[in-house]
Chains A and B, each alone.
Chain A
């Protein structure tokens, strides 16, 4: 029996027509054919991440490197994706080929992909097998990150493996020990969310353009270790976009002046990092207005009590300046009833759409998902 499906959109791709591709700086959709950038001098090559670190990927790399040496000007990084992959390439000798070629072997972890180590040299060109090449994410502001396949570095005739090494000794099984939970000084409190205010006034604290990622909003890399400590992590919100944003917003909040952010298309691309909502909330951000939002981030904003507003007329974006004052009244009724919201900015009225489902409006009214869940459990 056949089942028939109807699709909203259909795309056909003949695998046999594809050629090696590369995503050039600084967006994963800045795609070119590899042959158009050949001859470029490379400073770093990094293989790993959740995109390309499987046994198959690492065997491919090992086969390619067998008997060869890495160029003296290249820093070559390899991070196998898991203990299983690591152990298997060690057991079958493939790891020896990778080491002999001159690789620096890293722990099985996210590592270079989130800027946790292996930041490239100043203005360095880095070819990586991971998934994101947003500006600055590598830990070097001037780094030029190109996303490629492991095969692009070399070619392999690969044989499959019919049995994996299985050893789950690094997985601690579930338990109900009743033991003490360790809390070091870096473990803070769960984030608080203010209840929804009926009237908010403040300032447009920041105006940004299109494709602002969660890495712009809440940098990872060397700052990520503070993610259990909201006041500390909040110091770095928009660090690489506007280093004064955090201190300015917190100072304003302490005198009752809240912050709104104005943005272009596709606000909140990238990581699901909810600190890109939690920390702005802590700093007094209560509204983000954008031409469009990405799914996970707009959900995170609602979960922590920040109202995502969509421009109804996208040309309104051009009329709003950083530093303008804003005022919203009757907010509780607007959120309760759905529909549009009127907001006064620098003396003019603008109409915007509250980007929230019926359930999300209830979450906003409850002051965030934690409060909402406690009330409804």
Chain B
């Protein structure tokens, strides 16, 4: 739908650094509909300068972390779990398809200046306890309502014990809080992940601020 809307704006090509189209939600082909939609996306994308990630290549947020995400960059995605990219130090925000289509056309994305919640992590997870349990704890504290207009920034010595995929699990489910996005820094752990992905040149250091009251 975002691509139909992009076409309707009569812009010859995308005006972003990169745009990627992922086929991951509709892959079961019980009738012609999904297969037809995939072929539409591939032929449309190859006309407007858009990467096309075929069905089978993976879930958009996982693949974007692996192959495209960059600390310090912004990411607008037409899926509410786009903040997964916060695990790699992106400001990654979910929006409606038409907001994304407008951004692909070079238009700005408008948001109300967010308020910031700082979650400071100390210590180290014990065996059997996972990053998932961290975000479930946060959901217990903040619940799924009343958090509109906030961004969560994770800081503290505890973040040094969490790998990129663990951080991404935490920022991913920030969507369930209803916050605009969640973000970890771009640090040595991010650098190691990007280097292992053959993308060391995508690394940029984005460090946490120190809390004023410390």
Chain A contacts for B49, CB-based, 8 A: 174-176
- Collect the chain B residues with CB atoms within 8 Å of residue A50's CB: 59-62, 81, 84, 172
Interface residues of B in 76-122 (CB under 8 A from A): 78-82, 84, 94-99, 102, 105, 107, 110, 112, 115-122
In the complex formed, the residue of B with least CB distance to A213 is B144
Residues of the B chain whose Cβ atoms lie less than 8 Å from the Cβ of A296 = 80, 94-96
Is A51 within 8 A of B169, CB to CB? Answer: yes
Complex interface residues of chain B between 125 and 181 (CB less than 8 A to chain A): 125-134, 136-146, 148-150, 153, 156, 158, 161, 163, 165-166, 168-169, 172-173, 175-176, 178, 180
Interface members, chain A 9-49 (any B CB < 8 Å) = 9-23, 27-29, 31, 49
Whether A114 touches B47, Cβ cut-off 8 Å, given contacts A13-B134, A373-B107, is: no
Q: Is the CB of A299 within 8 A of B95?
A: yes
A368 to chain B: closest CB distance in Å?
8
Q: How many residues of B contact A (CB 8 A)?
A: 129
Is the CB–CB distance between B96 and A300 below 8 Å? yes
- Bound-state CA distance A152–B172 (Å) is 18
Contact A370 B128 (CB under 8 A): no
A343-377 interface bits toward B, Cβ cutoff 8 Å, 1 = contact, 0 = none: 00000000000000101000000000110011001
Please classify the interface of chain A as helix (H, G, I), strand (E, B), loop, or mixed, using the class held by over half of its residues.
loop
For the complex formed, measure the closest distance between the CB of A154 and the CB atoms of chain B, giving whole angstroms: 9
| Beta-carbon contacts under 8 Å, A219-242 to B | 220, 222, 224-229
Give the interface SS of chain B, mostly helix, strand, loop or mixed. mixed
Find chain A residues with CB under 8 A from B123 CB.
14-17
- A contact residues, range: 35 or more
Measured CA separation A5–B154 after assembly (Å): 13
Which of A2, A55, A117, A190 interacts with B8 by CB under 8 Å?
Answer: A190
Which A residues are in CB contact (< 8 Å) with B56? 83, 107-109, 170
Q: Is B50 an interface residue (CB 8 A)?
A: yes
- B158 touching A82 by the CB < 8 A rule? no
Residues on B with beta carbons closer than 8 Å to the beta carbon of A176: 13, 46-49
Give 8 A-B pairs besides A9-B150, A116-B25, A265-B145 with Cβ atoms closer than 8 angstroms.
A10-B120, A16-B124, A56-B165, A80-B58, A81-B62, A108-B59, A131-B81, A176-B13
Which residues of A are at the interface with B, using a C-beta cutoff of 8 A?
2-23, 27-29, 31, 49-57, 80-86, 107-111, 114, 116-117, 129, 131-132, 147-152, 155, 160-164, 166, 168, 170-191, 210-211, 220, 222, 224-229, 265-266, 269-272, 274-275, 277-278, 292-296, 299-300, 303-304, 357, 359, 369-370, 373-374, 377
